[in-house]
Amino acid sequence: MNYLNIMKFRPLFYALSGFLIALSLFSIAKWGFRPSIDFKGGTIYQIKLPHISDQSKVVSVFRSNNIPISSISSAGENAYLVKFINISQPQKLKLDESLKKLDKDFQSLQFETLGPSLGKELLQKTLFAVLLSAIALLVFIGTRFSDFTFGTGAIVAMFHDAIILIGSFSLLGHFLGAELDALFVTALLTTLSASVHDTVVTFDRIRELKRQKYQIEWVELVNQAVTETIVRSFNTSMTVVIMLFALVVLGGSTTRWFALALLIGVVCGTYSSTGVAIPVVLALKKWQAGRHSKTKNPAPKVTSKSPPARAAVSHRSNL
């Protein structure tokens, strides 16, 4: 069987990943994010206007009361979920009066105020979950494969996917108004788990082949393993990509950004399993081999007690 020489494209993989990470970091540093009320605090107001189906009329009522809306989405038939900054009780009463003028059968279904402390707590828990999962993955994969280079490769790929996903939402927030919310955190953690799953499948095949053909070079072994697993990984990812793409295009505004985050994550995870994790393992293996050869064959040391060759020849000629 002829195996694809995929690892010859490692320089291209490095360049592509470096460009995407640099673009993500630039966007984060330049434009930052648009955090939702889950992070910065605010109000969630669910209302029902049985006779109003035009969302723009609802927006105009909030604007007339000088209440900037963070987002508005459909919550059922003629029902709306509105997110905006915290307001006082008199402002709330005035807003309700304006909504009753718009529709006499106006109903207030839910009014919830979320403080910024919850947003800070959510952010801290997210960072803690990512760091904890990275440590757990390093220990598990390193012990499972008896080689911590595999664990390092998986973690590098995981953070690669996380940076690109976060950076993409910085770009989407700047140009299209996408917000970071609790659903984005869910998509981020789901992406990390999916990325590692694909990576471990390929790593497991590499380990099996190494047991059978332990004298083969690592690059040749990796090419064989990737050739045998890439079709299955691609087909599995494509089924998820098609479903998520349909949600992005046809889904409502409530789930659109969540589905898009998952879509970006799945694509990045599929790529990083072959284009990031395995090249990192090969680079570490090459570094280990070079270090081992230096340790095994140390360079001879020249001391002051051993005279130079020219000096010895000159001495003999003088004799």
Strands 79-84 and 69-74: antiparallel
Q: Which of 162, 305, 149, 173 is nearest to 222 (CA)?
A: 149
Task: Mark whether 214 and 186 lie in a shared domain.
Answer: yes
Query: What is the radius of gyration, based on Cα positions, of the chain?
Result: 29
Asked whether residue 232 is domain-assigned, the answer is yes
> Which of 74, 99, 114 is where one domain is finished?
114
Task: Mark whether 151 and 195 lie in a shared domain.
Answer: yes
Task: Mark whether 28 and 79 lie in a shared domain.
Answer: no
Residue with tokens 């984060």: 28
Confidence class of residue 316 from pLDDT cuts 50, 70 and 90? Answer: very low
Burial tier of 10 (Cβ tally within 10 Å: 0-12, 13-18, 19+): middle
Task: Mark whether 80 and 125 lie in a shared domain.
Answer: no
End-to-end CA distance of the chain: 70
* Distance, CA of 168 to CA of 164 (rounded, Å): 6
70-81 pLDDT, tens per residue?
888 888 888 998
Task: Mark whether 74 and 27 lie in a shared domain.
Answer: no
Phi-psi region of 245 (alpha: psi -120 to 50; beta: other; left: phi over 0): alpha
Q: Between these two residues, 161 and 2, which has the higher pLDDT value?
A: 161
Amino acid letter, 137: L
Asked whether residue 28 is domain-assigned, the answer is yes
Task: Mark whether 104 and 124 lie in a shared domain.
Answer: no
Whether 313 shows a pLDDT value over 90: the answer reads: no
Phi, psi (rounded to 5 degrees) for 277: -60, -50
Asked whether residue 1 is domain-assigned, the answer is no
Asked whether residue 185 is domain-assigned, the answer is yes
Task: Mark whether 184 and 127 lie in a shared domain.
Answer: yes
Lowest-confidence range among 109-113, 179-183, 271-275, 292-296? 292-296
Asked whether residue 306 is domain-assigned, the answer is no
Task: Mark whether 107 and 141 lie in a shared domain.
Answer: no
Mean pLDDT of 287-315: 59
User: How many distinct structural domains can be found in the chain?
Assistant: 2
Q: Where are the alpha helices (DSSP H) in 213-296?
A: 218-250, 253-272, 278-296
The set of residues, in sequence order, having a beta carbon less than 8 Å from that of 172 and lying 6+ positions away, is 178, 257, 260
SS3 107: strand
Token duo for residue 87: 């307001």
Mean pLDDT of 18-31: 97
Lowest-confidence range among 161-170, 185-194, 230-239? 185-194
Whether 136 shows a pLDDT value over 90: the answer reads: no
**Containing domain of residue 103, as a range?**
42-114
Q: Which of 177, 170, 168 is nearest to 71 (CA)?
A: 177
* Distance, CA of 73 to CA of 64 (rounded, Å): 19
The pLDDT assigned to 271 comes to 95
Task: Mark whether 171 and 243 lie in a shared domain.
Answer: yes
Phi-psi region of 12 (alpha: psi -120 to 50; beta: other; left: phi over 0): alpha
Task: Mark whether 184 and 263 lie in a shared domain.
Answer: yes
Asked whether residue 302 is domain-assigned, the answer is no
Task: Mark whether 101 and 156 lie in a shared domain.
Answer: no
> Which of 61, 94, 114 is where one domain is finished?
114
Task: Mark whether 107 and 122 lie in a shared domain.
Answer: no
CATH number at residue 229: 1.20.1640.10
Asked whether residue 308 is domain-assigned, the answer is no
CB count within 10 Å of CB 18 equals 10
Contact 169, 184 (CB under 8 A): yes
